[in-house]
Structure 1
Amino acid sequence: MKIESVATGRLLLHPVTVDAAQRIVAREPGEGDRWGEAYPQDGDVRACTGFLRGVAERGEPGVYRPYEIRLDGVVVGGIGFHGPPDADGVATVGYGLVPAVRGKGYASESLRALIGIARRAGASGVRGDADLTNPDSHRVMEAAGMPCVGEDETLRYFEVRFADSAL
């Protein structure tokens, strides 16, 4: 199954394949990979490790996978789904950018595109969380249309539901 890249105003979300995930986990770029400085980060390695485990356990995930965030053809971060939607049809997301490109709105722009991917694929919503001590990530999710729906002693939770969901 070929998953298409998704273009935003300034970025390209490029779907991570099994081969690319293996390179990211090994932190060894292949021929043709254009990785920005400080990519991949620990979060990218964790996301791709989970993706590879999910492929081994459940098979091809379709659109519910990690994506490279590309700026002018260079990978500057990652964004994606932690797996397929849960029993309620809600998909959980995560994201991260290399330090050099933070603070420019790229994370919110990427997250809006990822929310669109989930909506078109039939999810009933998208959720994410961030440490209470990470207000930058809180602003990213709110700017992407995911309001805060609660918090506990360590995390703040964000979620958007789609009224027109097929689930």
Structure 2
Amino acid sequence: MTALSTPRLLLRAMSASDAEHVVAGRPPEGARWADGYPCPGEQAAATRLLGTFAGTGDPSPFGSYEIRLGEDGPVIGGMGFHGAPDEAGHVTIGYGLVPSVRGMGYASEALRALLRFARDRGVTCVHGDTDLDNIASQRVMTAAGMRFVRQDSALKHYRVDWDGPGPE
């Protein structure tokens, strides 16, 4: 199972069983979830992940990841891909954290790790979007190296492009 480490976080790929627990809102035996996890966005992502498992199989490594505080800390949110890269090497990402840990730089730290991971696997472009009034999420994407590209009536759209795989 894929895991990505940062100085403060562990991003661990979610299994179908993990996703079932998130959808149900009940942690698996022995797991620790921070207060407020999972939020509705995490449950929606877990529902989408279960659909992928049922339809096309395990999406790893381009699935969803739980975000933990360190190796043994509680799950504080989730982050992941909305699917495998398309024929042009593009993917879309999403993420969320429980309210109690927002504003501490965790989302940007996790997103930087996920972007490096994608680039190292040949992804050429990562897309993300956020509500017009979600300034915090806009800052997360900018801090992680994504740039604002356009706005529509509901969302601000961000992306990062690379010429090819390799570390930054």
TM-score bucket of the superposed structures, by smaller chain: over 0.9
- Is the counterpart of residue 112 in structure 1 residue 116 in structure 2? no
1:37-96 per-residue CA deviation (whole Å, 9 max, x = no partner) reads: 000010110001001101111111121111111014110111011111123211100000
C-alpha contact (below 8 Å) 2:123/2:164 kept by paired residues: no
Q: What is the aligned residue count?
A: 164
Gaps of 5+ in 1: none
Superposed CA RMSD: 1.2
Structure-2-length-normalised TM-score: 0.94
Distance 1:60 1:105 in 2: 30
Conservation of the 8 A alpha-carbon contact between 1:63 and 1:117: no
Map 1:31-110; keep pairs closer than 5 Å: 31-72=29-70, 73-110=73-110
- Asked if the contact 1:63/1:121 (under 8 Å) is kept, the reply is no
Q: Which among 7, 19, 29 is matched to residue 5 of structure 2?
A: 7
Which of 25, 28, 53 is equivalent to 1:27? 25
Would you say the 8 A contact 2:127–2:160 is kept in 1? yes
% same residue: 48
Write the distance in 2 (CA, Å) between the matches of 1:67 and 1:92: 14
How far residue 161 of structure 1 moved from its aligned partner, in angstroms, is 1.0
SS of the residue 1:133 aligns to: coil
Q: Which runs of 5+ in 2 are unaligned?
A: none
* TM-score of the pair, normalised by structure 1: 0.94
Contact 1:76–1:101 under 8 Å retained in 2: yes
Deviation at 1:154, TM superposition (A): 1.2
